[in-house]
Amino acid sequence: MGRVHLEAVRRVGTVDVAAIVGRRADAAQNLATAFGVERTETDYRRILEDKSIDAVHVCTPNSQHAPISLDALQAGKHVLCEKPLTTSSAEARKMVELARSSKLRNCTCHNLRYYPMVQHMRRMREDGDLGEILVVQGTYSQDWLLYDTDWNWRTDTAANGPMRAMADIGSHWCDMAEHVTGQRIISVSADLQTFHKTRKQPKGSVETFTGKTLAPTDYTETAIDTDDFGSVIFHMTPRARGAFTASQVSSGRKNMLNIEIYGTKGAVSWNQERPDELWIGNRNTNNEVIVKDPSLLKEKARSYADVPGGHGEGYPDTFKQVFRRFYASITDPSAAPEYPEFSDGLRQLEILDAELESHKGRRWVDIK
């Protein structure tokens, strides 16, 4: 994620990157050279002492999110943290509290909200174009952990936390479902499955998604207890119903977040693999398909699209959109946060808690 964050920060235009922190000095130095950053550190505390630095991005494995973010807030830095916010809702609650009391800007990087068409869906719902929401369904399916030779720090519970597919991508799906519908998932029946009870752990380190191109070499057979796949049926307030699955073992799906929202007046369907398209389902008139075009977007969604109609915006652009808003809110302390805060990250951990409890008890669990 380091490179994606660095490029996106530079696109904001008015932000300077002061330093890069990495556990491995050489990796940090390489990145700094590639992006013309002057300072690197291996201990993040050195950075927190620097008064000239306003904000930090936390892009580490999940288990480091809470300690670093808490230290950063304590040091008076604004914090943008990757998702899932932490590996437990208890820790997340601490982060939310400290952020609130310190009055510092805090962002959970649920960047997928920032596709122009996702914002257009949200604004359609706000304007009542969908009517009352009845059904929300979909999936987040990938295939990069299909084989037992696939490995990533996320397969390691210590670095990742107790849930994997559901936390890494299922939480993106739920965040989008709640963000777009404006409703809350209130009760779940969930089922998790670990297809590979052991995986072959390479002895070196592996960058996310690059495992596919590795040759088999030196492996340790390692026990796995996190989920490869999960399925959930749920209730939303007041009477909407839904279902979704999250999978890292679905052959041929590279990054398919698909969400379908059906209301009494109309429906929308969106797929991250074709991010600039939106399907709108109608009962008594033709269905519609939008190819992203600023002139066709809801006025409140227009600022999320920077290039003309039919000129694709992709995954890197979502980060630019988050960061632009995050830094604007630092410059203007009176601005409302137009991005997911730590409290949104906590919300996803509470849903994950309920899913795990439901799975273990084979019963429905309510989310407070």
On whether the CB atoms of residues 80 and 58 are closer than 8 A, the answer is: yes
CB nearer to its own copies: give 101 or 295: 295
CB of 98 to its own copies, least distance (A): 31
CB of 51 to its own copies, least distance (A): 21
Q: Say how far apart CA 172 and CA 179 lie, in whole Å.
A: 10
CB of 190 to its own copies, least distance (A): 8
The residue among 234, 113, 118, 225 whose CA lies nearest residue 165 is: 225
CB nearer to its own copies: give 94 or 135: 135
CB nearer to its own copies: give 128 or 314: 314
The number of CA neighbours under 13 Å toward the Cβ of 160 is: 20
CB of 223 to its own copies, least distance (A): 17
Q: Say how far apart CA 256 and CA 242 lie, in whole Å.
A: 18
On whether the CB atoms of residues 325 and 338 are closer than 8 A, the answer is: yes
- Residues with Cβ within 8 Å of 246's Cβ and at least 6 positions away in sequence, in order, are 139, 140, 141, 165, 166, 169, 170, 173, 229, 230
CB of 221 to its own copies, least distance (A): 18
CB nearer to its own copies: give 45 or 126: 126
CB of 176 to its own copies, least distance (A): 16
DSSP label at residue 215: P
What are the backbone angles phi and psi of residue 346, rounded to the nearest 5°?
Answer: -60, -45
CB nearer to its own copies: give 213 or 334: 213
Cβ-based burial of 334 (10 A; exposed 0-12, middle 13-18, buried ≥19): exposed
CB nearer to its own copies: give 242 or 345: 242
